[in-house]
Amino acid sequence: MSTVSARRLSIPAAQRVAGRALFWLGIYAAALVMFGAFVATRDVDPIAMYRSMWESTVLSGFGPGQVLNRTAPFILAGLAVAVPARAGLVNIGGEGQIVLGAAAAGGVALALGTQVTGIEALILMALAAAVAGALWAGVAAVLKLTGRVDEAISTLLLNYVAIDILLYLVHGPWKDKAGDGQPAAQPLPAADALPGLGLGPANIGIIIALIATVIVAGVLGLTRWGFALRCAGGNREAARRAGLSVGTLVLTAMLVGGALAGLAGMIQFTGMEGQLRPGIAATFGYTGFLASWLGRHQPGKVVLAAALIALIAVAGDSLQINSNLPGSVVNVLMALVLLAVLSSKSKPKLSAA
């Protein structure tokens, strides 16, 4: 093939990539414009507001670290949805799996006390959190396999049970008797907190999340198990006739997803909260579900979606401080981003000319 012919063939591909990038930039820009129009009705200058959000989250010495810390559990919560999705499963239980992961890590910390600290304690907490999240997701998988209970419903309902378990622990046996009376466990020793990255408040949680992303992407794309998941997700009956154990695939996909969510709970507990309390990771599971959907259940894209959502979430603080808007108004921006993506059901058609 001549060089000229190769160049001609490469032009349409480049146009598709550039067109797709412009298309999605336009989608997100439309969400920003709609949110700007919304805040303008509340006598807030949209341009000044966006400038303040940018400066507080990107240009400040504290904001980028906060964004990274928030991104880490969002990534893992998104992966907890993406892995089961490959098998055609809908895991809405990330919230409960994260909560029990944090509770398991907190229980290990209480049990270890000052006998085991540092990296050893973090490893034990991570293992306990992953196991707790996996077992909680496994409950939904067993219900599906034995009673044909829809996993979307069971995982959603199990979220409330997990929250009640945490409430019982922090109000009862694990309540810090030396505290101020609030329902919370003993604070995590400073030696057991996730090490920092040297970037403001950022810790190594983001590194753990990115390593997990690479592993998940490799397992899904390069192993027989990942291929089998895609087969089961595409057509379960055909997968059965091909000799695949669909039940085993359903169970293992949910276990892996739950383990990732549990790890997210451990990172939130040891990296941000440092103490078990009600609402330790409120809405993180649902945010991960959104990140996975926006990323089309592809690990690399889930990272980008999680980072975007984390950026918006952290920027919500500046809305309250600098623009005199309620902090919850950031949920409007997130909703507009989701609606903008939902409205874009077709991709742009590009000509080869």
Radius of gyration of the chain (CA): 22
At 11 the pLDDT is: 56
Q: What whole-number distance in Å separates Cα of residue 61 and Cα of residue 42?
A: 30
Give residue-wise pLDDT tens across range 243-252: 889 999 999 9
Give residue-wise pLDDT tens across range 139-191: 999 999 999 999 999 999 999 999 999 999 999 999 988 877 789 999 999 88
Give residue-wise pLDDT tens across range 19-62: 777 887 888 888 888 888 888 888 888 888 888 888 888 887 78
Please check the confidence at residue 5 and state whether its pLDDT lies above 50: no
Segment among 6-15, 135-144, 313-322 with least mean pLDDT: 6-15
At 18 the pLDDT is: 77
| Matching CATH number, 45-324, of 3.30.70, 1.10.3470, 1.20.1070, 3.40.50 | 1.10.3470
At 344 the pLDDT is: 64
Segment among 84-98, 105-119, 125-139 with least mean pLDDT: 105-119
Q: Which pLDDT band holds residue 13 (cuts at 50, 70, 90)?
A: low
Q: What is the mean pLDDT of residues 338-352?
A: 56
Does residue 183 contact residue 278 with C-beta atoms inside 8 Å? yes
pTM of the model: 0.88
Q: What is the mean pLDDT of residues 220-242?
A: 90
At 98 the pLDDT is: 97
For all residues of the chain together, what is the average pLDDT? 87
